[in-house]
Chain A
């Protein structure tokens, strides 16, 4: 009983611990040194900004699998570098030979945050660009630059990016996912 009250107070005072840490790190990078004073200012800002911006972040942000997150970041970095060279080659090659297409990729993510990361990811990775989120939040429209097998393209996005994101931000249990569904 007392524990749950304390938890609730803590949650009220520190609504987004992850964002607090992230903002503190960003502040340190901005200040470009790690003096003790800067750490304090960073943590203070990291606490105050989410606290006052709580209205814009009603959903809780959980990272269920930090290791998967690191793996995902590595895959993403690798793909971004690859994507840059692929696109550069395509631009220098023969643009009239490209086969662009609009592809509807069905998604089953529930949290807004995971969805925006997925849309962001598709923009950064080889030959694709997210163009539209369907109003029912069940699919995104992706514009691909050069594609010959739509099914394989969809499969890549789903297994390479969506699956890890689902594991990271929504976990295995559907409880949090249910909470995040918008009416």
Chain B
């Protein structure tokens, strides 16, 4: 493996680690539940993404044949990260978790009325 390639791979790995770390750091530094969701959702996608690119390139050069199943991990991550964030936000809204900004009353009112409807159906 040429030194240039090694340098590129190291760069990708360090960048990935750094972005993942910053994403997690967001949990400590940001100030309310809803903004905290942003850090891990976004920080990790590109962080893990660049780690996976590095892995893919490394094993394609090193091993036998092209290694592409890392693409799959990236794809699943892109699908699952937003879904978990969405569900967490939804649950938080439902429980009226405190926020720096006023919670959207209208949406919550609608949600609650819908909830009551479900209960009355039972």
Count of A-B contacts judged by CB separation below 8 Å: 124
Complex CA–CA separation, A80 to B48 (angstroms) = 13
Closest to B32 in A: A100
Chain B residues near A104: list those with CB within 8 A: 104, 106-107
The answer to whether B35 touches A123 (Cβ under 8 A) is: no
Q: Which of the residues B34, B69, B75 comes within 8 Å of A143, measured between beta carbons?
A: B34
Chain B residues near A85: list those with CB within 8 A: 46
The answer to whether B35 touches A98 (Cβ under 8 A) is: yes
Residue A159, interface by CB 8 Å: no
Q: Is the interface of B mostly helix, strand, loop or mixed?
A: helix
Chain B residues near A95: list those with CB within 8 A: 29-31, 35
Closest Cβ of chain A to B48, distance in Å, is: 10
Complex CA–CA separation, A165 to B101 (angstroms) = 31
Closest Cβ of chain A to B37, distance in Å, is: 6
Q: Which of the residues A26, A32, A84, A145 comes within 8 Å of B45, measured between beta carbons?
A: A84
Q: Which of the residues A84, A124, A145 comes within 8 Å of B78, measured between beta carbons?
A: A124
How many chain B residues sit at the interface, stated as a range, is: 35 or more
- Give the contacts of B68-92 with A (CB-CB under 8 A): 68-69, 71-72, 75, 78-79, 81-83, 85-86, 89-90
**What 1/0 mask marks residues of chain A from 19 to 46 whose CB sits below 8 Å from any chain B CB?**
0000000100111110000000000000
Q: Which of the residues B85, B93, B100 comes within 8 Å of A100, measured between beta carbons?
A: B100
A80 with B45: in contact, given A87-B23, A124-B78 (CB under 8 Å)?
yes
Residue B99, interface by CB 8 Å: yes
The answer to whether B81 touches A88 (Cβ under 8 A) is: no
Closest to A128 in B: B38
The answer to whether A88 touches B111 (Cβ under 8 A) is: no
Chain A residues near B22: list those with CB within 8 A: 88, 91-92
Chain A residues near B30: list those with CB within 8 A: 91, 95, 98
How many chain A residues sit at the interface, stated as a range, is: 35 or more
The answer to whether A88 touches B23 (Cβ under 8 A) is: yes
**What 1/0 mask marks residues of chain B from 53 to 71 whose CB sits below 8 Å from any chain A CB?**
0000000000001011101
**What 1/0 mask marks residues of chain B from 27 to 47 whose CB sits below 8 Å from any chain A CB?**
001111011011101110111
Can you identify 5 A-B contacts, CB atoms within 8 angstroms?
A80-B45, A84-B47, A87-B26, A102-B104, A104-B104
Q: Which residues of A contact B (CB under 8 A)?
A: 26, 29-33, 80-81, 83-85, 87-88, 91-92, 95-96, 98, 100-102, 104, 119-120, 122-124, 127, 129-132, 134-135, 141, 143, 145
9 pairs of A and B residues whose beta carbons are closest in the complex = A123-B82, A84-B46, A131-B89, A91-B26, A87-B42, A102-B104, A88-B22, A32-B69, A120-B82
